[in-house]
Structure 1
Amino acid sequence: MREDIYLVDDRLNLVTEDEIDAAEDRLGINLPQGYRNFLLQFGKGTLCGLIDIPSPDKIIQVSLNCRWARGRNILDEAEIIASFEIASTIDADSIIYCPGSERDIYILPRHDDTIYWIDKCFSDPTIWYSDVGVVREKEPFKYFESLVDRSCIEVIFPDDHLASQKVVSSIKATFEESGSVLHRAYKECQLIFVRELSAIIEVGQARNYIRFDFNPMNESRILSLISSLESEGMFSGCKLIFHM
């Protein structure tokens, strides 16, 4: 199941059957089987840097603030109020489960008054649907970052002081021999996945920054990598911000 999802960190914060059963008893519902399977296989964490999937004991009933007027043909007000938030996006969109409804799992957008839905099997919650078809396309590369102890270092630069493509090439060259590096380019950033460091390295395109998310046990290697990049003249005048 879901063999195409890359694990950033092999340490998973798994959820047990008993924890899911306890949430169902507390809420008085049966949670979707696909969602249950995801928690059992991957646990708590973030999918594709987009969807935050918490512990089932964090599931709450949807607020009475029903403002999705254009989505009333998908879910009416009574159905929205009877729903439960099982996940959310980094943009604070709610992902809800509506027991007994046609499509089971829906998106209540923060900045939109319509309602979308995802596959009720929870096979790929990054794909969103509406009456007109797919409104959010499948992620070309799926990855999961577990909710375990992680560290973050951000390197911030003055304008035009970061040669982003050279930085990406240098980092890739450092780890390619061990076969532990993957690279994906997006419009606003480039992501480098380094398995041996349990790390995601995000290099900004329009903004001058590098963000290192990693297993805390590898902090010394991350700092050494930053020092090496600086000594190679990849950047200057940078500011390091530590998030633990």
Structure 2
Amino acid sequence: MYWVSTQHTPVATDELTNIEHTYGITLPPPYVAFLTRYGPGTYCGLLIIEMPDPQLLQSYTDYELWTHDDNCPITAQQLGECVVIGSSIDGDFLAIHPQVEGLMWLPRHSEIITTKTLDVQVPFTETLGHILQDEFGRMEPFPRYFEPVSQDKTATFLLFSPLDTAEAYNPANPSDQALNFAPASLQALAQRFKQHFNSNLWIENEHICMAFLQTLGGYVRFNYAYGREVAIIYESKAIALRDEILSFLQKEHCRVVE
């Protein structure tokens, strides 16, 4: 698993034990092992692993967001007893309940609560991988990375504004002459970036491209879906590298968004 940053905040075992004693719950051992080693953060950009929250879903008990029929693992009354241990970037919840084996997935855009198998003998990341496959259609192999929560992380946003006279750039056959012209697309700009900076992890699909640099403590994100947005996610200690990347992008017709 790739670490986006080496600055992470593992949770003390005693802190989780106190939560268990206070609320009379038993947290899944793989989840506890994950938090005490890595701390809270985002897994593969989609699943947010959080500190256990025994109160979050209590505010949802008055709303009929999910169907509590015979196929539902919990009743409407038990909803407030659930402990949220994670969520997704889409607003789904990952929770546990003392009377339910495994994990529960409470979707934002569906009324059906489902259960997820939890094998206490395997790392928590393996369970998260199965959830990614089930809920987001992510099939193996896919790059696994973890972005720890950091108070030291910030971002610089830019807009890509190519010239009207930009020459088409073929990343498969780059040439010195072509590099003298503005890139014709955000995809072409990303390929230029790849040639200029040595990234530790490169993730690219039709929607997005992310170039991870360990020394940056973050990554550079090219938003293919929008076609113009570029973001530099970095830690303050890496300001020199941020400035180098920023200078490169500005020369490639990107302007900072204030």
TM value normalised by structure 1:
0.82
Question: Structure 1 residue 151: deviation in Å?
Answer: 1.0
**Residue 172 of structure 1 aligns with which residue?**
194
Counterpart AA for 1:212: I
- For the pair 1:210 / 2:213, whether they are aligned, the reply is no
Q: Percent identity?
A: 23
User: Residues 153, 73 of structure 1: CA spacing in aligned structure 2 closer, same or farther, 3 A cutoff?
Assistant: same
Q: Deviations over 1:73-99 (max 9, x none)?
A: 132324433211111111111111112
Structure 1 unaligned residues grouped into runs of 5+: none
**Residue 60 of structure 1 aligns with which residue?**
55
Q: Aligned partners of 1:185 and 1:55: how far apart in 2?
A: 30
TM value normalised by structure 2:
0.77
1:51 is aligned, of 47, 51, 57, to 47
- For the pair 1:146 / 2:148, whether they are aligned, the reply is yes
Higher Rg of the two aligned structures? 2
- Counterpart of 1:20 in 2: which secondary structure? helix
Q: Deviations over 1:89-111 (max 9, x none)?
A: 11111111112213x21111111
Q: Aligned partners of 1:147 and 1:230: how far apart in 2?
A: 29
User: Residues 189, 142 of structure 1: CA spacing in aligned structure 2 closer, same or farther, 3 A cutoff?
Assistant: same
Q: Aligned partners of 1:128 and 1:47: how far apart in 2?
A: 11
Question: Structure 1 residue 219: deviation in Å?
Answer: 2.1
* Preserved contact between residue 54 and residue 81 of structure 2 (Cα < 8 Å): no
User: Residues 94, 210 of structure 1: CA spacing in aligned structure 2 closer, same or farther, 3 A cutoff?
Assistant: same
* Preserved contact between residue 44 and residue 147 of structure 1 (Cα < 8 Å): yes
**Residue 137 of structure 1 aligns with which residue?**
137
**Residue 222 of structure 1 aligns with which residue?**
242
Structure 2 unaligned residues grouped into runs of 5+: 165-183
More off after superposition, 73-82 vs 32-41: 73-82
- Counterpart of 2:195 in 1: which secondary structure? helix
* Preserved contact between residue 29 and residue 99 of structure 1 (Cα < 8 Å): yes
User: Residues 118, 125 of structure 1: CA spacing in aligned structure 2 closer, same or farther, 3 A cutoff?
Assistant: farther
Question: Structure 1 residue 166: deviation in Å?
Answer: 2.7
**Residue 99 of structure 1 aligns with which residue?**
98
* Preserved contact between residue 190 and residue 204 of structure 1 (Cα < 8 Å): yes
More off after superposition, 71-80 vs 142-151: 71-80
**Residue 159 of structure 2 aligns with which residue?**
156
Q: Deviations over 1:95-146 (max 9, x none)?
A: 11112213x21111111111233331433325339xxx94433461111111
User: Residues 159, 134 of structure 1: CA spacing in aligned structure 2 closer, same or farther, 3 A cutoff?
Assistant: same
Cα RMSD between the aligned structures?
A: 2.5
**Residue 171 of structure 2 aligns with which residue?**
none
Q: Aligned partners of 1:23 and 1:160: how far apart in 2?
A: 57
- For the pair 1:81 / 2:101, whether they are aligned, the reply is no
Question: Structure 1 residue 71: deviation in Å?
Answer: 6.8
Q: Aligned partners of 2:29 and 2:94: how far apart in 1?
A: 16
Q: Aligned partners of 2:30 and 2:144: how far apart in 1?
A: 17
User: Which is richer in helix?
Assistant: 2
- Counterpart of 1:214 in 2: which secondary structure? strand
How many matched pairs? Answer: 226
